[in-house]
Chain A
Amino acid sequence: SQTIHQWPATLVQPVGSPLSLECTVEGTSNPNLYWYRQAAGRGLQLLFYSIGIDQISSEVPQNLSASRPQDRQFILSSKKLLLSDSGFYLCAWSVGRTSGGNKEQFFGPGTRLTVL
Chain B
Amino acid sequence: GEDVEQSLFLSVREGDSSVINCTYTDSSSTYLYWYKQEPGAGLQLLTYIFSNMDMKQDQRLTVLLNKKDKHLSLRIADTQTGDSAIYFCAEGSLSGGYNKLIFGAGTRLAVHP
B105 CB contacts on chain A under 8 angstroms: 42-43
Say which residue of A49, A102, A104, A106 sits within 8 Å of B98 (CB atoms). Answer: A49
Contact between chains at A103 and B99 (CB < 8 Å): yes
Say which residue of B41, B43, B99, B104 sits within 8 Å of A94 (CB atoms). Answer: B99
Question: Dominant SS at the B interface?
Answer: strand
B45 CB contacts on chain A under 8 angstroms: 104-106
Report the separation of the CA atoms of residues A49 and B88 in the bound assembly, to the nearest whole angstrom: 20
Report the separation of the CA atoms of residues A43 and B50 in the bound assembly, to the nearest whole angstrom: 22
Smallest CB–CB gap between A90 and chain B, Å? 6
Contact between chains at B40 and A112 (CB < 8 Å): yes
Residue of B nearest to A108 (CB): B42
Contact between chains at A96 and B103 (CB < 8 Å): no
> Please, how many residues of chain A have a CB less than 8 angstroms from a CB on the other chain?
23
Residue of B nearest to A9 (CB): B40
Report the separation of the CA atoms of residues A32 and B98 in the bound assembly, to the nearest whole angstrom: 7
Contact between chains at B97 and A51 (CB < 8 Å): yes
**How many inter-chain residue pairs (CB < 8 Å) link A and B?**
59
> Please, how many residues of chain B have a CB less than 8 angstroms from a CB on the other chain?
25
Report the separation of the CA atoms of residues A44 and B4 in the bound assembly, to the nearest whole angstrom: 11
Report the separation of the CA atoms of residues A97 and B96 in the bound assembly, to the nearest whole angstrom: 11
Once A107-B42, A109-B41 are accepted as A-B contacts, the answer to whether A43 and B98 lie under 8 Å apart by CB is no
Say which residue of B40, B42, B48 sits within 8 Å of A102 (CB atoms). Answer: B48
Contact between chains at A104 and B104 (CB < 8 Å): no
Contact between chains at B42 and A90 (CB < 8 Å): yes
Once A42-B105, A43-B106 are accepted as A-B contacts, the answer to whether A107 and B44 lie under 8 Å apart by CB is yes
Task: Return 14 A-B CB contacts under 8 Å, by A number.
Answer: A32-B97, A42-B105, A42-B106, A43-B4, A43-B103, A43-B105, A49-B100, A57-B96, A102-B50, A103-B98, A104-B48, A105-B99, A107-B35, A112-B40
